[in-house]
Amino acid sequence: MELDLSITIILIVSGVIVGAINTLAGGGSVVTVTMFTALGLPITIANGTNRIAVFLQNLTATINFLRKGVFNLKHGLLLSIPVIIGNVVGSLVATKIDDRIFRICFGVILVIILIYLIFDSRIKIKEGHNLEIKPWHYLLFLGIGFYGGYIYIGIGYLILAITLWAMRMDIMTANAIKNFVIFVATPFSLAVFVINGQIDYLFGIPHGIGNIIGSYLASHYASHLGKGMIKGFTLVIVLICFADLLGIISLHDIFAQLMTRVCE
């Protein structure tokens, strides 16, 4: 499929927005895949092409968070190992998952995040460099990896749910760990789609460039925004995703109408 200038601009600008959303909260993959399908890509190609943006945005965010010393690299590497293992296993045994099951899983994750964001002031948190990784944490991240290889969409929220609720990290450290773990694990799933020819580089590269910009800006200014602002941003994005999940709004219809108007 050939791209004209207007669609290329849309891909870059939307990439900036998605990169910022994924860096500070999550749910950007829903936006990206929805937009790709609205522009005419088959869902399988859209799902694979999305991994380019995911990898680039998390690489950018990780570099920025490491430079700012937001989290301990050793902790990130230790938690990434079970995620990689689970990701490979999940990809190998993956079949086409029923949409109803996915919506239930995604809804549970969003509910956990909402509960945490509402009641987190009552929970004692641990800053990133004082984190204690316990054996059962590795089991949780193994499950995260399997989920990522099997379903993928919503993995950012699942990581936030585990790091915030079970490991009691602060929101800043949780986001940094989330970006690092996804960055390390994504190449394994990306390789599967590349081998199967399910990547559209004409869509993926310009959108990925936008993701780099959005992720850089979000991670660079995250410390300036403060944990309260990031918490509020995360809450808004979660509520939007939850409204789409319940059918109150339709992100697919919104993007389809927007793409139609822009491309006329």
At 126, is the secondary structure helix, strand, or coil?
Answer: strand
227 token code pair: 């944990």
Ramachandran angles phi, psi of 169, nearest 5°? -80, 160
Which DSSP helix (H) or strand (E) runs through 167? none
Predicted structure pTM score: 0.75
Query: Position of tokens 């990809």?
Result: 91
Per-position b or e across 174-198, b if 16+ CB within 10 A of its CB: bbbbbbbbbbbbbebbbebbeeeeb
Please give the average per-residue pLDDT across 201-230, as a whole number. 83
Which DSSP helix (H) or strand (E) runs through 95? none
At a CB cut-off of 8 Å and minimum separation 6, what does 22 contact?
28, 29, 54, 57, 58, 156, 179, 211, 215
Work out how many domains the chain is built from and give that number: 1
Q: Give pLDDT tens digits for 53-111.
A: 989 999 998 998 888 887 888 888 999 999 999 887 876 665 455 667 666 766 776 77
Residue 169: beta bridge partners?
126
Show the domain range for 19: 5-263
160 token code pair: 């936030």
DSSP state at residue 139: H
User: Degrees (nearest 5) of the Cα angle 69, 140, 212?
Assistant: 40
Average pLDDT, the chain: 79
- Count helices and strands (H / E) in the chain: 10, 0
Contact between residue 27 and residue 234 where contact means Cβ atoms under 8 Å apart: no
Q: Give pLDDT tens digits for 20-50.
A: 888 877 667 777 877 887 788 887 788 789 8
What is the rounded distance in angstroms from the CA atom of residue 212 to the CA atom of residue 224?
19
Task: Count other Cβ atoms within 10 Å, centred on residue 217.
Answer: 16
At 101, is the secondary structure helix, strand, or coil?
Answer: helix
Q: If pLDDT is split at 50, 70 and 90, which confidence band does 183 have?
A: very high
How many residues does the structure list for the chain? 264
Q: Give pLDDT tens digits for 122-136.
A: 544 455 555 678 899
At a CB cut-off of 8 Å and minimum separation 6, what does 73 contact?
66
Q: Which amino acid is at 200?
A: D
What is the rounded distance in angstroms from the CA atom of residue 181 to the CA atom of residue 83?
7
